[in-house]
Amino acid sequence: MKLMNKKLLYIPAMITCLLVGSFVWLSLCTVEIVAVYENDNFSDVLVKDFPLTDRGKIDWWLNNKDMLKERYSIPKPASYGSFTITFWDFGSGYKEEGKYDRLCFDARKAKDNCIDKNAVFSVRQIKNYRTLLITYDGRYLLQDNGDVVNVERE
């Protein structure tokens, strides 16, 4: 009977280890930028292995915004200062337009120039040069001092 109780204790411990291990593995995955498409002050970035949590997405942006500027010359603000960068989950890759509500890129000269719409993160510079960070779960404002604060949707 005692042997059975010990075995039952191992099951939750094993599940916990698997969950923690999975989370660590996912958080260590490197984000892959597949392509960048631009239209005026709007940029679409196709990504693989983007962080899952709001904090992970925001931290990734803060750590990589200079690299995006250097490597891809984004963002490109409009004359009045506003820009939008949307990060899209590249998922299962490019597809033909066929299905309703796909995002297509005319710059890609191929039949399969569309992706399924699955925005994972957006960065917008709004009035007064404020930076708004948008995830599926929330909206955050980047303060002048570098702090990130949650803002309620209007």
DSSP string spanning 1-35?
-HHHHHHHHHHHHHHHHHHHHHHHHHHHPPPEEEE
Q: How far is it, in rounded angstroms, from Cα 16 to Cα 9?
A: 11
pTM of the model: 0.79
* 123 and 81 together in one domain: yes
* 65 and 134 together in one domain: yes
Domain count for the chain: 2
Local structure of 112: helix, strand or coil: coil
* 24 and 41 together in one domain: no
* 21 and 84 together in one domain: no
pLDDT at 154 over 70: no
* 63 and 5 together in one domain: no
* 39 and 102 together in one domain: yes
* 84 and 107 together in one domain: yes
pLDDT given at position 128: 80
pLDDT at 11 over 70: no
* 55 and 105 together in one domain: yes
pLDDT given at position 100: 75
* 43 and 98 together in one domain: yes
Local structure of 57: helix, strand or coil: helix
- Structural domain harbouring 19: 1-29
Q: How far is it, in rounded angstroms, from Cα 79 to Cα 94?
A: 32
Q: Which is nearest to 80 in space by CA: 127, 122, 117?
A: 127
